[in-house]
Amino acid sequence: MQTNLQGRLRNTDLPKSHGLLPVIEAVVNSIHSLEEKGNLKTDGKITLKIERKPKSNLYDNDIYLNEIIGFIIEDNGIGFNDNNLASFNEFDSEYKLAKGCRGVGRLLWLKAFERIEINSGFQASESSYRRRKFSFDSKNGISIPQEIAISGEDIKTTVHLQEFNKKYQANSPKTIDSIARTILEHCLWYFVRPQGFPKIIIKDDDSGASLIDLTELYDSFMYESAKNESIKIKEFDFELTHIKFRASLGKKHIISLCAASRLVKEEDIGGKIPGLFGKISDSLGEFTYSCYVSSSYLDDRVRPERTSFNLTEQNVDDHLSDSELSLNEIIDQVIDRTKDYLKVYLQQNIEKGKNRVDTFISEKAPRYRPIIQHISEIDLAIDPAISDKDLDIHLHKQLAAVERDMLRQGHEIMANFDNDFDDYQKRLQEYLRTAEEIKKSDLANYVSHRRVIIDLLAKATKRTDTGCYAREDLIHNLIMPMQKDSNEVLQDSCNLWLIDERLAFHNYLSSDKTLNSLPITGDSTAKSPDLCALNVYDNPILVSEKQSLPLASITVIEIKRPMRNDAKAGEDKDPIEQALGYLGRIREGGVRTADGRPIPESKEIPGYCYVVADLTPTVINRCKLLGMTVTSDHMGYFHFNPNFKAYIEVISYDKLVNAAKERNRAFFDKLGLPST
């Protein structure tokens, strides 16, 4: 039988993200060569040189790097003697099967590189030494080796991988640091195994100006010594190597499935184990966790290219369950051992996560407290470093899940009612308990929302770092979105309770709309509130209370910028006159309900005018000229104007904030929210 090299290459799979795998194969071959010679732990040495193309404009990590065009791997191992050359000439050779080699490594070389040159010194007999030099490419295969005699001191082998394929080069690590880390991670088993490892040096150019010793890199990786253990999954043996890496490396928590002493597949387990997230710490510092898994079971099922396994994700055939393992079965068993290995650290993180949830709920989101008992331990074991935003989103998902489950239970109770009244009563009571807790959560959310709104209002009334005060639109939108009416906004978007709790109940509500556009009045004088065009912030909020006719009332609210001090006579400058003017125009236009029904004697409908403004000297002067009475706390003025049949109140921002806090203090106290 003959082998077609081009066909073999077409059928050999090498993902573009695995461009360094052929280089790693060459390094592993060098390790095997040192093992075969017996100088692995004595004078054994491997050097990997990175070849770069001069004057390239490739940009990476803020450094201009020359494009990588090849690699040179050099070792002082046994070399390409007759046995190794024969193995090299045979695809799928079994010569090094015991070491996990599949005889396809050189095919991977040709997938990522155009040409390979090999120059190898070896001991031909007890007293003679030879050097073989040959090339290997996809068109011509392996060239006829050229041989010369050498001295014993010249025994070394170089494998020159030339013309790095653009596709693989673009998707591979480019800096010497990233290349060194990739090689170490794939060959880590050789560093933690009892047999030891050789000296491996990586150079970024022939001068050796940029150099990394993998032994030193390995030492910098390791947080403490690796721990080994053996487990059985069904009847198959697996070897686990637990490793703690220094947290500064930025690695994730992973399970690494290995075959033929190489890394094949990584499984990110961060977040899949309660308490395993971010970084783990002990008295010595922070670390991340990796578990390297090896087994003859994995060796037998790795694909020839060693980029994946011939394993099903999940066993679905009962007939195979005793003789075959799925990928998920292996990972699940390793995760169980990981939990045991890290149990002390995991428990610490779980406690920190629970404390983070408790603090967040107590101080910022009491709405979630009633549902905590319905959330699983796993879902409560969150990362202590999680942001408030992400924690809120996480808890909201849990709340939605509880509500969804409650809804399902309710439907089942109603649909499955039968003669077993005791069972029905039991299920109904359980459902009602959950429903009660959900309603408590809704109430807690409502109250905590008020606390946030009060805080925002208080902040908006303070002077900014620039020495200015917030504009009216900020405060206006806080109370109700501008240029909207009650048909366009949700009830939760309106915070009229800041001024008067009764204003939450209304038939129609508008914000920043002209009088001739309101359905509750026939007033057509669009110019009457002239400030609408000049200063939209002086447009009023208009409310018609929902009461039985003719016991209706009209409320006008005027909002002014904090510390504004330009009030004077005239509707365009006096907010009190402005509010009364709006009230008068609404009455004159004929007051109607929101659906257009007339209200009898609408000119007699009582009015309420609220002016929210700081008590600056000009505002105080206008209050006194209109005969208004100062409140007992000297933070506002009130008056009843019989001519306009209107109650008028001027409320300072300090009074608005303090009064809102006082009205809600009992609720805040019940939820453990600060009221000051």
- The fraction of the chain above a pLDDT of 90, given in percent, is 17
More confidently predicted of 611 and 471: 611
Would you place residue 10 in the very low, low, confident or very high pLDDT band (cuts 50, 70, 90)? confident
Query: Is pLDDT at 619 greater than 90 in this prediction?
Result: yes
The predicted pLDDT at position 547 comes to 47
CA atoms within 13 A on the CB side of 492: 8
The whole-angstrom separation of Cα 183 and Cα 179 is 6
- The fraction of the chain above a pLDDT of 70, given in percent, is 75
For 5-213, which CATH superfamily applies? Histidine kinase-like ATPase, C-terminal domain (3.30.565.10)
Count how many residues are written for the chain: 676
Q: Six-digit token pair at 97?
A: 């099967």
The predicted pLDDT at position 635 comes to 93
The predicted pLDDT at position 97 comes to 47
Bridge pairing between strands 199-203 and 113-123: unpaired
Query: Is pLDDT at 449 greater than 60 in this prediction?
Result: yes
Average pLDDT over residues 408-412: 63
Average pLDDT over residues 447-452: 73
- Range picked from 132-136, 248-252, 598-602 for highest mean pLDDT: 132-136
Query: Is pLDDT at 225 greater than 70 in this prediction?
Result: yes
CB atoms within 10 A of CB 50: 23
Q: Is the pTM of this model over 0.75?
A: no
351: Cβ–Cβ under 8 A, 6 or more apart, which residues? none
Average pLDDT over residues 41-54: 88
Bridge pairing between strands 554-559 and 607-612: parallel
The predicted pLDDT at position 317 comes to 53
The predicted pLDDT at position 479 comes to 76
Average pLDDT over residues 450-467: 77
The predicted pLDDT at position 442 comes to 62
Mean pLDDT is lowest, of 78-82, 85-89, 487-491, for 487-491
The predicted pLDDT at position 346 comes to 86
More confidently predicted of 46 and 210: 46
The predicted pLDDT at position 284 comes to 75
Would you place residue 493 in the very low, low, confident or very high pLDDT band (cuts 50, 70, 90)? low
Q: Six-digit token pair at 16?
A: 């573009």
Query: Is pLDDT at 1 greater than 50 in this prediction?
Result: no
Query: Is pLDDT at 487 greater than 70 in this prediction?
Result: no
127: Cβ–Cβ under 8 A, 6 or more apart, which residues? none
pLDDT tens for 234-291 read 889 999 989 888 876 667 888 989 887 777 888 888 778 888 877 787 777 888 888 9
The predicted pLDDT at position 534 comes to 24
The predicted pLDDT at position 161 comes to 93
Average pLDDT over residues 386-408: 81
The predicted pLDDT at position 604 comes to 78
Query: Is pLDDT at 550 greater than 60 in this prediction?
Result: no
The predicted pLDDT at position 536 comes to 26
Query: Is pLDDT at 298 greater than 50 in this prediction?
Result: yes
Give me the residue spans of the domains in the chain.
5-213, 227-341, 351-456, 472-665
pLDDT tens for 569-592 read 988 889 999 888 888 887 877 666
Name the average pLDDT for the chain.
Answer: 78
Q: Six-digit token pair at 34?
A: 């040192």
Helix axis angle, 327-341 relative to 343-363, nearest 10°?
Answer: 80
Mean pLDDT is lowest, of 359-363, 433-437, 558-562, for 433-437
Is the distance from CB of 560 to CB of 575 less than 8 angstroms?
yes
Would you place residue 157 in the very low, low, confident or very high pLDDT band (cuts 50, 70, 90)? very high
The predicted pLDDT at position 504 comes to 64
The predicted pLDDT at position 530 comes to 26
Residue 5 to residues 89, 139, 159, 671, Cα–Cα distance (Å): 12, 8, 20, 75
Query: Is pLDDT at 341 greater than 80 in this prediction?
Result: yes
Mean pLDDT is lowest, of 99-108, 139-148, 252-261, 290-299, for 99-108
Cis before 562? omega within 30: no
The radius of gyration of the chain's CA atoms, rounded to the nearest angstrom, is 39
Closest among 526, 525, 591, 524 to 556, alpha carbons compared: 591
